Structure 1
Amino acid sequence: MNKLLLSIIMVSTLLISCSKDSDNDITKPKPPTPTPPPTTEEKKIPISIIAQRADDSDTSFKSGDKVGLYVVNYGGSTAGKLTASGNQVDNVYFSYSGNWTSEKKIYWKDKNTKADLFCYYPYSSNIANVTSFPIAVNKNQSSEENYKASEFLWGKKTGVTPTESSVTITVQQAMSKLIVKLVAGNGYKEEDLSNAEVLICGLKTNATINLADGEVTSTGNSMDITPMKKSGEYHALVVPQNIKEIDLIKVTIGENTFHLNETIDFTSNKQYTCTITIDRSGQGITIGIDSWEVEDKDYGDQIYNI
């Protein structure tokens, strides 16, 4: 009897011990891994511009006008190089209708990277070479339409810090402007000059422009340009070039023809005014430079009758 009781006690003790060991082997659940906070993408800053003309002597931009824009990022404190593609913005147009609107949304690289902005008018969708883009003036500028079609404007804004505000870019004339004024001298009346024919002679009408710095290089052969008559004056847009002792202006009044032989360095964004006083017995001429950009220089010479 005692032996049986002892066996029962030993088995019970063994079962209790195994039960405790089994309880100790139960794995406690791990606390859940906290979910990381969602990452917030940096807000993109859109690019917007206001293109304005440097000259006030011509009309402002009109509805439907388009300018082209390139944006080139800095690398640290060093300005980037304008290329035909691969810039932050590649030749995106902005159209004018009271305000400037881009053809698509464009953005700064980030909130810190500075950039240079290059703007030109009129817009062209096909620019293969930004350092040698072909431009030209019309040979016949007798109509206002043809005169205006000879314009090319260019501007640059450097080191711009990304901003949500519109960036104002001033564009100026890549061409020169020549104005011829006829004044009746001895032997002529003003009405005699109303039917005068004026021709600007021996100038190249084609050029290329470097859109990175606005430098214009004349190309091709020399041509004659018919200017636009406006309020008794004769206006023409001229490719920048240096001329030396050529018959620049030809004036025909009835059966008389006069030539101006001159040396002039035509420069971008400068206006040259030639006031010609015509006498029966001795012709005089005064040539000066007026604004767009004023240069303190005056030209003088004689014209001759042939």
Structure 2
Amino acid sequence: MKRYGILLVAVLLCMACNKEHTTTLPDNAAMRFEMKHPATRATATAFEQGDRIGLYITEYDGDAAAPLQISGNWTNNVAATLGGSQWATAKKIFWSDNKMDVYGYYPYMTPVSIDEQPFAVALDQSTERNGDQLGGYEASDFLWAKSEGVAQTEGTVALQFAHRCSKLVVKLVKGPSYEGDLPDNATVYIHSVVPTATIDFTTGVVVKDLFGEMATIKTRKIDNATYEAIIVPQRLDSRRPFIEVVVNGVSYLLEDTFNFKAGKQHTLSLTINSNPDQVEIEIGGEIEGGWN
């Protein structure tokens, strides 16, 4: 009898240790997610098939929200992948009886810190997506969302994402002395910017690496007159080489100062003439949040 009693205790302990994996809960206990892109775009229109978002979820203690941690949360960096019109999580996430805070970010990564996660925009943002491998522009476009105090009665968790870096759009305009059409082989570079930063997942704030070295970013082409790039938020206080347009072997270089603001799109119109020394710049208005 004593031997059977010991065996029974061992079995019960084993079952308790594996409760998370063996407990069967009704489907309505599993969380569902609706991911809302800032302007229905992670690339040009919306999140694409196969895009992955990272999810962190914390559980309240009564009315007190729990702090977000690198581990030990209700959910720790679970990937949600877009397939069809639905987001499927790498494992089922179940509701708690308490309220919860839900954090989402894109693109998916493996964080080593919650408040100082290293991040960098791509130096070549003209590279295109190849299967699950994001193109340089998409991989640089950090998005963040948070939904506070959600409860199971809401059924679906809606996450409204926002751009957290800065976007620069360069538009080429033919000057009076520029002959012919704009070529289809122009290349536009952004000089003198720091591409490295840290991310605070609790707030979604992206902070330039204070010790980061300046580098050059190759933009991606939208059409013969429009080029764009994602930039870490920062201020260029001193006048220095800024934008370079290479057209048919001729380099048009502009020196200037600039302030890349977080979550905003900046548009610069560059008027180029036959003389590469004659480059005029016009700064357009800023677009917030949902970039077009």
TM-score class, shorter: 0.7 to 0.9
Q: Per the alignment, do residues 292 and 59 of structure 1 end up closer, same or farther by CA in structure 2, a change over 3 Å counting? A: farther
Q: Which runs of structure 2 are paired with 1:74-153 in the superposition (5 Å)?
A: 74-97=60-83, 98-110=85-97, 113-124=98-109, 126-144=110-128, 145-153=135-143
SS of aligned partner of 2:137: helix
For 1:230, which of 211, 222, 227 is the aligned residue? 222
Q: Which moved more, 1:127-136 or 1:57-66?
A: 57-66
Q: Tell me the CA shift for residue 292 of structure 1.
A: 4.8
Structure 2 unaligned regions, length at least 5: 1-24, 129-134
Deviations, residues 130-155 of structure 1 (Å, cap 9, x unaligned): 11112211111123322222222111
SS of aligned partner of 1:275: strand
Q: Distance in 1 between matches of 2:270 and 2:216?
A: 19
Q: Which runs of structure 2 are paired with 1:182-221 in the superposition (5 Å)?
A: 182-191=172-181, 193-219=183-209, 220-221=212-213
Counterpart residue number, 1:265? 259
Check if 1:73 corresponds to 2:69: no
Q: Distance in 1 between matches of 2:246 and 2:86?
A: 46
Q: Distance in 2 between matches of 1:117 and 1:143?
A: 32
The one-letter code sitting in structure 1 at the alignment partner of 2:61 is G
**Could you say which structure has the larger radius of gyration?**
1
SS of aligned partner of 1:107: coil
8 Å Cα contact 2:57/2:101 also seen in 1: yes
Deviations, residues 181-236 of structure 1 (Å, cap 9, x unaligned): 11111210352554443211011111111000011112221100111111121111
Q: Per the alignment, do residues 240 and 276 of structure 1 end up closer, same or farther by CA in structure 2, a change over 3 Å counting? A: same
The one-letter code sitting in structure 2 at the alignment partner of 1:46 is A
Q: Distance in 2 between matches of 1:198 and 1:62?
A: 26
Q: Tell me the CA shift for residue 65 of structure 1.
A: 1.5
Q: Per the alignment, do residues 260 and 170 of structure 1 end up closer, same or farther by CA in structure 2, a change over 3 Å counting? A: same
8 Å Cα contact 1:183/1:190 also seen in 2: no
Q: Tell me the CA shift for residue 276 of structure 1.
A: 0.9
Q: Distance in 2 between matches of 1:217 and 1:190?
A: 43
Question: How many residues were matched structurally?
Answer: 251
The one-letter code sitting in structure 1 at the alignment partner of 2:38 is A
Q: Distance in 1 between matches of 2:290 and 2:159?
A: 21
Q: Distance in 1 between matches of 2:281 and 2:180?
A: 16
Q: Which moved more, 1:51-60 or 1:186-195?
A: 186-195
Counterpart residue number, 2:243? 249
Structure 1 unaligned regions, length at least 5: 1-41, 296-306
Check if 1:61 corresponds to 2:47: yes
Counterpart residue number, 2:32? 48
Query: What percent of counterpart residues are identical?
Result: 34
Deviations, residues 58-100 of structure 1 (Å, cap 9, x unaligned): 2312222211111112233332210011111111111111201
Q: Per the alignment, do residues 181 and 108 of structure 1 end up closer, same or farther by CA in structure 2, a change over 3 Å counting? A: same
RMSD between aligned residues = 2.4
Q: Tell me the CA shift for residue 261 of structure 1.
A: 2.7
Counterpart residue number, 2:159? 169
Check if 1:288 corresponds to 2:280: no
Counterpart residue number, 1:303? none
Q: Distance in 1 between matches of 2:194 and 2:234?
A: 8
8 Å Cα contact 1:251/1:259 also seen in 2: yes
Q: Please, what TM-score do these two structures have when normalized by structure 1?
A: 0.74
Bigger RCO (CA 8 Å, 6+ sep): 2
Q: Per the alignment, do residues 192 and 61 of structure 1 end up closer, same or farther by CA in structure 2, a change over 3 Å counting? A: closer
